[in-house]
A and B are shown apart, each in its own frame.
Chain A
């Protein structure tokens, strides 16, 4: 039978990469901890001798505190492999040495792979591998698993180690109090020979003192094990009483001292002065300044999203309403369908509806790009730390911030992300708050209406919507946590923030394209279906005087009838026109459908009036439009950081914008801007889309789904009503 070689070490040390190099396997490698949650097996040969390799999940030590760690420690302690290859991240030697020390104490044959040596060299982290090998009594091999460096030597060293005698367990000094009691315990173990089958007597007793559940179970299963456990339990109490604190911390303390001493010898003492990263962290996570910094970051994100991408928005709009509509009309003419209801369906239904949403792809691209840059640089983790404190202060679980952040992209996966919370109460509370975050689908509505009513200040209005969503979520959370979902005592929590890093172009590009593509796919599926459905409802005449199918006054169509029935409910908030209520109704399908419906209701692309150029002219128009948009975007960039920039916004109202303004003017009695803002507040807060409702039901059940649906509608109506009526009373709009 082939000797078993275990690949073990701390999370994210490069174990799977090294395993793949050793065995020629191709298991997925991830640059985040906790990716390997089960063991992988493979094989390799050295000089004709076969070995079986096992890649274990990451663990910091041999006392397992999670399911993944139990897999690793259980394998190491029960199977006792022929050789343990301990993979150390050379840039985090401290964590690795704690693990090496514990493996050595367990008396396992060990080879240390000093991985990522190239990164350590670049960071000028000097490591004396020879001193390390001598002091620990193990072979140390420098590796760069990513490039396959050191793998041949590692294989030779593993083969040699597998043939060598089992080493004597490393003996660390745990101080006079622990050592005095440990001596008695070891005698107890020796008097029960079956205990020695579990491992070296001193190590087993240390594991019992450290409260290791796997060691406890193993000892409990052998004859006389109860007596050993009883002795260990009594010793724990005696040691704790003598030291004044628990025995686990006492063991950790002494090991820490000895590992620190070794670390000093091998790599020098840790810096006593804060690094530039530490200083930046102090500012970004500061109790007072952290929140303003976060808000400033969000401001920049939304300025880039709303302002810098605007020229591309205009370019796509011109492309869809120009060349694309011409081509569609020409195609229909070629198959003799011009002038029929099919032309209406394609031009006014599909192109106006889907195109009206696709116009906002650059906006979503901008949002996802900025969020991806913040995520991959490590800033989002800092924001989570800041928001954690702020949210705990009002009784909302701090970890809720993370699902809420996902909610800025899409509410559906954000609802699913509540699973990362432990308590059912925290999950439900977070699930109820998540839809108040402005998802990407609402952004096109904000950009469209803010452009109509708040020209020049539209990015401020969009930012205000994001802030208002967070504020309402905090208020509702506070209300719920003091009433039906009373808060429990929060447990202390230490957050280890990832290092600041230059965002990886590949990671950022993958995140941006995948998320944007999800939006585009939505335009091709849900929005297409909704646009077609709306067009058919608009084409069906209602009553005898409504005309014929496809040739009816939209106000007297089936869609108009349904919308008019709902409109009075919304009239007190200033948007009681049937077009407005109809758009909001379709928003239940997906929030961006509000835009596509408005485009269908307020505008009709008259292809017969548009100058039809040649195909070549159209392509030239698209190309020159793209160049202009790129130039305008570059000119708009300085404005994001407050520098003077050329105003690239076209102040000329489009037909759609004029129609929307007239409609709101009519419905609000001349307070169009105020009604427009109330409409935005309603879109922010009202009943989430049907995919979110389905996800909510899946996660929390039908009862809470209805609480969410009805509750959000009530909150939205109240919010919009207060904005409109309050604004009128105060003389705004």
Chain B
């Protein structure tokens, strides 16, 4: 199996996919698919699409500020942080040159 097969599979998908889904579709082990996705990430072929543990809001202030029944402890200690699934999308080719 080649990386090109993997990118084609992702591009053809109509819903989101996990490593387990891709492994089943491509008849490969999850470890192999994981390694191939790592290669695509390193090459900039996959772009991040959210992920990691995050407070509900960052940047220009939280909509909950002042209404969180007390003082806001800030994004690092916000009690309503949530683990977002780390997602990646195929990045369009031929971007710059």
Which residues does A use to contact B, with CB under 8 Å?
Answer: 28, 30-35, 60-61, 63-66, 94-95, 98-99, 102, 208-213, 215-216, 229, 232-233, 236, 240, 244-253, 255-256, 259-260, 263, 270-275, 278, 281-282, 285, 375, 378, 380-381, 384-385, 388-389, 392-393, 398-399, 402-403, 405-406, 409-410, 412-417, 419-420, 422, 490-498, 511, 514-515, 517-519, 521-522, 525-526, 691, 694-695, 698-699
In the complex, 20 of the A-B residue pairs with CB atoms within 8 angstroms, ordered by the A residue number, are A32-B53, A98-B42, A211-B44, A249-B43, A255-B39, A275-B30, A282-B24, A285-B20, A384-B85, A402-B82, A413-B55, A415-B64, A419-B56, A419-B59, A420-B50, A492-B10, A493-B16, A493-B87, A494-B89, A495-B85
B56 touches A65 (CB 8 A): no
Give the chain A neighbours of B31 by CB distance below 8 A: 270-272, 275
Q: Which residues of A contact B56 (CB under 8 A)?
A: 403, 406, 413-414, 416-417, 419
Residue of B2, B19, B50, B82 contacting most chain A CB atoms (<10 Å): B82
Q: Is the CB of B29 within 8 A of A245?
A: no
**Complex contact B39–A252 (CB within 8 A):** yes
Q: Is B26 an interface residue (CB 8 A)?
A: no
- The 8 A CB mask of B1-39 against A (1 = contact, 0 = none) is 011100100111111111111111000011110111111
Cα of A415 to Cα of B65 in the assembled complex, Å: 12
- Report yes or no: B13 in contact with A497, Cβ–Cβ below 8 A: no
C-alpha gap A245/B8 in the complex (Å): 10
- Expressed in whole angstroms, the Cα–Cα distance for A255 and B55 within the complex equals 36
Residues of chain A with a CB closer than 8 A to B93's CB: 211, 240, 246-249
Contact B35 A260 (CB under 8 A): yes
CA distance A682 to B24 in the complex (A): 44
- Least CB separation from B88: chain A residue: A494
Least distance between B62 CB and chain A CB atoms (Å)? 5
B44 near A491 with CB under 8 A, answer no
Cβ of B83 and Cβ of A496 under 8 Å apart? no
Q: Is B96 a contact partner of A216 (Cβ separation < 8 A)?
A: yes
Q: Is the CB of A492 within 8 A of B44?
A: no
Give per-residue flags for B43-87: 1 if the beta carbon is below 8 A from chain A beta carbons, else 0.
111111111111111110011100111100100111111111111
4 A-B pairs with least C-beta separation? A63-B44, A252-B43, A98-B42, A514-B79
Q: Is the CB of A514 within 8 A of B15?
A: no
Given A216-B96, A409-B80, residue A417 in contact with residue B57 (CB < 8 A): yes
| Alpha-carbon distance between A94 and B38 when the two chains are bound, in angstroms | 7
**B50 cross-chain contacts in A, Cβ below 8 A:** 399, 420
The answer on a CB contact under 8 Å between A698 and B63 is: yes
The residue that A253 contacts in the complex, of B4, B17, B51, B62, with Cβ under 8 A, is B4
Q: What's the nearest-Cβ distance from chain B to residue A519, in Å?
A: 8
**Alpha-carbon separation in the docked complex, A623 to B39 (Å):** 60
Q: Which residues of B contact A414 (CB under 8 A)?
A: 56, 80
Q: Give B36's nearest chain A residue, CB to CB.
A: A256
State A248–B45 Cα separation when bound (angstroms): 7
A691 touches B3 (CB 8 A): no
Given A32-B52, A406-B80, A415-B63: A213 and B96 interface contact (C-beta under 8 Å): yes
A31 to B83, CA, bound (A): 11
Give min CB distance, A109 to chain B, whole Å. Answer: 20
On chain B, which size bracket covers the interface? 35 or more
Contact of B62 among A278, A399, A413 (CB under 8 A): A413
CB of A264, distance to nearest CB on chain B (Å): 11
In the complex the two chains form, is B18's CB within 8 Å of A412's CB? Answer: no
A419–B54 Cα gap in the complex (Å)?
A: 11
Select from chain A the residue with minimum beta-carbon distance to B31: A270
CB distance from B20 to the nearest CB of A (A): 5
The CA of A319 and the CA of B50, in the complex, are separated in Å by: 46
Please state if B45 and A249 are interface contacts (CB–CB under 8 Å): yes
B56 → chain A closest CB, angstroms: 4
Residues of A within 8 A of B7 (CB): 245, 249
Of B15, B18, B43, the contact of A392 (CB 8 Å cutoff): B15
Contacting residue for A492 out of B17, B67, B95, CB 8 A:
B17
Taking CB atoms, residues of chain B closer than 8 Å to A497 are 18-19, 85-86
Pairwise interchain contact B4-A249, C-beta atoms closer than 8 A: yes
Across-interface contacts of B76 in A (CB, < 8 A) = 28, 30
Given contacts A412-B64, A494-B10, A496-B87, contact A212 B96 (CB under 8 A): yes
| B64 lies within 8 A of A413 (CB) | yes
Contact A375 B43 (CB under 8 A): no
Output the least CB separation between A272 and chain B (Å): 5
Cα-based distance from A519 to B80 in the complex (angstroms): 12
